[in-house]
Amino acid sequence: HESIERMRQALADDEFVLYYQPKVNMSTGEVVGVEALIRWQHPERGLLAPASFLPAIQQHPLAIDLGEWVLGEALGQFDAWADAGIRLPVSVNIDAIHLQQSDFVERLRAEVERHPRLRPGDLELEVLETNALEDIAHVASVMKACRTFGVEFALDDFGTGYSSLTYLRHFPASVLKIDRSFVRDMLDDPEDLTILEGVLGLAVAFRRGIIAEGVETLLHGRMLLAMGYQLGQGYAIARPMPAKVIPGWLESWG
By CB under 6 A, name the binding residues for ligand G.
21, 37-38, 49-51, 54, 70, 93-95, 128, 156-157, 180, 213-216, 234-235, 240
234 interacts with, out of Mn ion, Na ion, ligand G, none, CB within 5 to 8 A per kind: ligand G
Read off the amino acid at residue 43: P
- Pick the closer one to ligand G by CB: 168 or 205: 168
The Cα 215–Cα 232 span in angstroms is 7
Q: Which residues lie closer than 8 Å to 103 by C-beta, 6 or more apart? A: none
Helices (H), the chain: 4-12, 54-57, 62-83, 104-113, 136-148, 164-170, 180-184, 190-205, 218-227, 246-253
CB of 80 to Na ion, least distance (A): 25
**Amino acid letter, residue 201:** G
Q: For 151, what's the count of Cα atoms within 13 Å in the CB-facing half-sphere?
A: 26
Q: Which is nearer to Na ion, 112 or 154 (CB)?
A: 154
* 156, 175, 208, 233: residue in contact with Na ion (rule CB under 5 A): 156
What is the closest distance, in whole angstroms, from the C-beta atom of residue 219 to ligand G in the complex?
Answer: 12
48 binds, among Na ion, ligand G, Mn ion, none (CB under 5 to 8 A by kind): none
Task: Show the site string, 131-160: x = touches Mn ion by CB under 5 A, - = not.
Answer: -------------------------x----
DSSP string, 67-87: HHHHHHHHHHHHHHHHHTT--
Residue 152 binds Na ion (CB under 5 A):
no
Residue nearest to ligand G (CB): 234
Q: How far is the CB of 214 from Na ion (least distance, A)?
A: 8
Beta bridge partners of 40: 16, 48
Query: How far is Cα 157 from Cα 36, in angstroms, rounded to an integer?
Result: 15
129 binds Mn ion (CB under 5 A): no
- Near Mn ion in 88-127, by CB under 5 A: 93, 126
With a CB cutoff of 8 Å and minimum separation 6, the contacts of 252 are none
Q: Does 164 bind Mn ion (CB under 5 A)?
A: no
CB nearer to Mn ion: pick between 73 and 126: 126
- The answer to whether the CB of 201 falls within 8 A of the CB of 159 is no
Q: Which is nearer to Mn ion, 214 or 221 (CB)?
A: 214
Kindly state the number of chain residues that form the binding site for Na ion, as judged by CB under 5 A.
2
**Which residues are at the interface with Na ion (CB under 5 A)?**
156-157
